[in-house]
Structures are given as C-alpha cells and as structure tokens.
Amino acid sequence: MKSYHDIVGDGGSKVLEQVAEQRTRITDGLAGVRHLVAIGSGKGGVGKSTLTLHLAGALRARGLRIAILDADFNGPSQARMAGVEGVLFVPGSRKVALPRTRNGIAVFSMGSLIPESQALEFESVAHGESHTWRATREFALLGEILGAFEWGELDLLMFDLPPGADRTVQFADFLGPRTSFALVTIPSEVSRGVVSRSVAALSKGPNRVLGYVENMSGYYCRDCDAIKPLFVSPEQPPQGLQPSADASAETDPSGLGIPCLGTVPFDPALAQHCDRGIPLGELPDTPVGRALEHVAQHLLDSLESTTEPPR
C-alpha cells in the first residue's frame, strides 16, 4: 500500500489545476463587484445576519446594487430573514441567477435550498471522520457558489459569516485581501472578549478591518419610547443609550482597538421583521431604523476611503 510520501506531485488528481481554474472563475465572477465586505464577529448570536440584511437594506434604499452571500451553510438565516425561502433558482444569461428580496437585494442562502428541518450533509464513504474534511468541503462549496452564480455589476457584496474567531480568519484567507471586515459585538464582556480574538487574528493578515458595530446596545421600549440599558457591565457604564448619534468612527469605547461604526439598539419589532422576512423599509421611523442608517453611512464612508489592495 502506498503511503503519503510515495505520492508524487498531486498524485494525478490535477487538484492544482482544478483549484487554479476555480480561482479564475471566482475572480472573473466578482470582477464587477466594487466592494466586498464580510460581516463577522467570532461570537455567535450577536446579530451578524440581522445587521448584514438590514444594513444592505439601508444601502439598497439609497440606490446601491447589493448582494448577500450567506456563508453560514449549516445555520443559514438569510433565506428566512430576507424572505427567499424555497425560491426557485433559474438560469441567468451566463450562470445561475440569484433570487432577490422584495427591495431588490440579491441573496444566496443555503436556506433557500435546504428546508430548516434538514442539516447540510456532504456525501462521504467515511463514517465518523467528517471533522477531518468538513471545512475543506465547505470552502470548496463556497468557491463553487462564488463561481456559479451571476453576481454581475454590484456596489457591494456582503458575506454573512458563521460564528467562530478561527473561522473568521479562514474566510479572510479564502476570500483574499479584497474583502474588508466589519465585526459585530454586543455590550457584554464575553462578546467583546471573543471579538477581540477575531481582531487579533485578522490583524495578522492583509484584510482591512473597517470597525465594529455594537448591536443590542440598549433595549428600545415602545411603550415609553425610550432606550433602556440591556447589558450593564460593572466596569463600564452602559453605552449606546443614544443610539449611534454620538458614536463616531474615531472613538472606540469598547477598547477593541478598531473604529466604532455605530451602535444599534435591540428592538423586538426588528426581531419580528427578521422572523417574517419583512424588509426594514416597512418599519416606521424608529431609533433602530435611524441607527442602521447611521451605521450604513459609516460603513460606506469607510469603504469609499479604503485604498483597495491589489486583486
């Protein structure tokens, strides 16, 4: 039986050619995209998917051409949140066309293909060994999706990342230096600690970290029309009680060492919109709506001021 050391080159698999061919398809497919932004954190459940969709909505309302790639293949949220569950994928002019939300955002989410009652499975003859190749298969699938769909001419392609500080860096590696990162945290020490690990890990690579958004920064009480504290840490006074208005890109109250792109309060109506797949435009003028507008503006300003690294 041959061992690993007996294999010469690629063992005849032509894997290097395949990878190079896929890279070319991805580069060509994304050639019309002005900005690539990954919305990550490291921490789970802090609102990455919510902010991805609703920041996209705020920018779409300004006329920007936006697409979202839900890179959380095992826990896809965008299909439900964006209202594209169970859509049919149809051929476009050259590749597969992307489904769109009511407000015109193109969305790829595994949740459009796989019902919520089912987990994503990769076929394999091996049993009990999936941990050894699962990440590889997932990134291969991400490459296929980037290469197979019609991303077309876009101002912004947003990646909704899964949790995990280590995975955040894997996405940075895979997506390359063109992709900038915005990180989401909530006002808890636990969350800031994890996000801080993501910042440290990303700082070792070439990807630009635009800043962080503090989500769930206070609770918007509709009855009293006021924002109340949600998380209060003994070391730090509650932040974001005036959502976003005083959060400037120059200040960093979290101590994460990256710019603050703004704060967004928790609003039960927003959670309900997410569950029902209703765009934010249908929310009346509220603190959360204004906060998202403000963060979207900061994100855009930050992107426009970016000197893009070479492709």
Ligand X SMILES: Nc1ncnc2c1ncn2[C@@H]1O[C@H](COP(=O)(O)OP(=O)(O)OP(=O)(O)O)[C@@H](O)[C@H]1O
Provide the binding-site residues for ligand X, judged by CB under 6 A: 44-50, 72, 75, 77, 162-163, 215-216, 264, 266-267, 270-271, 274
Is the Cβ of residue 42 or residue 152 nearer to ligand X in the bound state? 42
Choose the contact partner of 73 out of Mg ion, ligand X, none; CB within 5 to 8 A by kind: none
Query: How would DSSP label each residue in 170-183?
Result: HHHHHH-TTEEEEE
The count of chain residues that interact with Mg ion, using the rule CB under 5 A, is 3
Tell me whether residue 171 or residue 249 sits nearer to Mg ion (CB atom). 171
**Residue 66 binds which entry of ligand X, Mg ion, none, with Cβ cut-offs from 5 to 8 Å by kind?**
none
Displacement of CA 195 from its chain's centroid (Å):
14
Which residue in 42, 267, 281, 3 sits closest to 161, CA to CA?
42
Q: Does 77 bind Mg ion (CB under 5 A)?
A: yes
Site for Mg ion in 81-120 (CB under 5 A): none
- Whichever of 77 and 244 has its CB closer to Mg ion, that residue is 77
**What 3-state class would DSSP assign to 257?**
coil
Measured torsion, CA atoms of residues 7, 10, 15, 16, in degrees rounded to the nearest 10? 150
Q: Which is nearer to ligand X, 25 or 197 (CB)?
A: 197
User: If you compute the radius of gyration of the chain from its CA atoms, what whole number of angstroms results?
Assistant: 20
Nearer to ligand X, 30 or 107 (CB): 107
Distance (Å, whole) CA 163 – CA 96: 28
Out of Mg ion, ligand X, none, what residue 215 binds, judged by CB under 5 to 8 A for its kind, is ligand X
The CA distance from 109 to 69, in Å, is: 6
Query: Least CB distance from residue 17 to Mg ion, whole Å?
Result: 35
Residue 264: name its binding partner from ligand X, Mg ion, none (Cβ under 5 to 8 Å by kind).
ligand X
Element (H, E) at 228: strand 226-228
Binders of Mg ion among residues 17 to 76 (CB under 5 A) are: 48-49
Q: Which is nearer to ligand X, 50 or 302 (CB)?
A: 50
Strand 33-40, strand 179-185: pairing: parallel
Distance CA 103, CA 110 (A): 20
Minimum separation from the CB atom of position 1 to Mg ion (A): 44
Looking only at the bridges linking them, the beta strands covering 226-228 and 33-40 are: unpaired
Quick one: what does residue 271 bind among ligand X, Mg ion, none, with the CB cut-off 5 to 8 Å set by partner type?
Answer: ligand X
The residue ranges that bind Mg ion (CB under 5 A) are 48-49, 77
